[in-house]
Structure 1
Amino acid sequence: MPTLKRNHWLAAAQPRSFTGLMGLYESNYRRFERLVPELDLPFDEAHSQGEDAVLYLRVLERCRYTTTVHLTYWFGEGPDMRADPDLRLRLYRDAELVEAISCDARSRYVALVGVPDIDDEVLASQWPRNLLLNKWLAYCLAQGHSFGGAHRPRRG
């Protein structure tokens, strides 16, 4: 598997170790970079039609070195619409890392909800949420999703 070879350090990293978590964040960044080639995100909202569903990306906050985004699929219609997985991500452009900072309670990944930003068990709590992000980004890429392209709306 090419991804595993390229990220062999991730496979060898100890889960829930600081080094392993940073390796996971770096892998998330590389995959996100393939999904969104222009990391300055020259749009506020965009969508990508893949083989499976429409992937939505919305910029929530822009700071000097970080950007926070919402990334999800929307399923259903009207009042039955639900986001799944419903993830907020923080891009650390200077450090080239992407962290999944939250997973909404309405998601079927409810076990990942409510993880505090900072506490004594932050490494253990961050690992499953960011592993979910890593695998989902790989899936989105395999489904042909991309936010690159001139058809995307641009910020003024």
Structure 2
Amino acid sequence: MTSLATHAARIPRLSRFGWLMGLYAENHARLARLFAPGDLAAGTYLSSIGDGLDLRLDVIEQHRYTTELRLTYALQDPLTGEPDPSAYLRLYHDARQLEATHCYIGRRWQDVIGMYPPPAEVIGHRMRMNTFLGKWLEYLAERGHGVATLRPVATGTAGYGGNEKNLAANA
């Protein structure tokens, strides 16, 4: 009995923050395998696999150590007109981390956790967002999205109005 208790005491425990950093690392690996976004120029890209539900990847900004991205199906929320689901992402090249900074899945973060949440609530919300992102990236890979299906969209034609097939034809 004492050897079991001693063995259990030696197993390190991972804090919620440590778990979150692990999610960031896993999501970086998933996105890098899927789209290699560090190599993409700023602009809009569509990934079409023939299922009628094209994926849109916006490379908002490329910096030396980070890339700002937005990932969405370009489906519109009927109440707000915003793409839903969508995720704003920050890719840290040097740390090999991918952080979902904002997700829109029917509601904004302020509606979910309030304007001035306690730190524990912020960490919990970030864990939920980044878990969602990891599952979404896995799903996209399973469906066949990837570098081979990604095409640039001509500037000025990238609306969220549901005309992704026309956009892909113009790319």
TM interval, shorter chain, is 0.7 to 0.9
User: How many residues in Structure 1 have an aligned counterpart in Structure 2?
Assistant: 138
Name the CA distance, whole Å, in 2 between partners of 1:64 and 1:119. 32
The residue aligned with 1:47 is 46
The answer for unaligned runs of 5 or more in structure 1 is 1-12
Structure 1 segment 80-99 matched on structure 2, within 5 A: 82-99=82-99
- Does the aligned pair in 1 maintain the 2:42–2:62 contact within 8 Å? no
The residue aligned with 1:133 is 133
SS in 1 for 2:69: strand
CA positional deviation for 1:40: 2.6
The answer for unaligned runs of 5 or more in structure 2 is 1-12, 155-171
CA positional deviation for 1:80: 9.0
- Does the aligned pair in 1 maintain the 2:72–2:83 contact within 8 Å? yes
**TM-score with structure 1 setting the length:** 0.72
Structure 1 segment 108-147 matched on structure 2, within 5 A: 108=106, 110=107, 113-114=109-110, 120-121=119-120, 122-147=122-147
| 1:25 has 2:24 as partner | yes
The residue aligned with 2:57 is 57
SS in 2 for 1:83: coil
**Structure holding more helix per residue:** 2
Cα gap change, 1:137 to 1:149, in 2 (>3 Å) = closer
Deviation by residue 1:97-143 (Cα, 9 ceiling, x = unmatched): 10000013xx32x2x62367x96223222100000000000011111
- Does the aligned pair in 1 maintain the 2:57–2:71 contact within 8 Å? yes
User: Bigger radius of gyration, 1 or 2?
Assistant: 2
Q: Extract structure 1 runs of 4+ deviating beyond 6 A.
A: none
**TM-score with structure 2 setting the length:** 0.66
**2:39 aligned partner, one-letter code:** D
Cα gap change, 1:45 to 1:147, in 2 (>3 Å) = farther
- Does the aligned pair in 1 maintain the 2:43–2:59 contact within 8 Å? yes
CA RMSD of aligned residues (A): 3.3
- Does the aligned pair in 2 maintain the 1:89–1:99 contact within 8 Å? yes
Name the CA distance, whole Å, in 2 between partners of 1:37 and 1:96. 12
- Does the aligned pair in 1 maintain the 2:23–2:131 contact within 8 Å? yes
**1:37 aligned partner, one-letter code:** A
SS in 1 for 2:128: helix
Cα gap change, 1:48 to 1:151, in 2 (>3 Å) = closer
The residue aligned with 1:10 is none
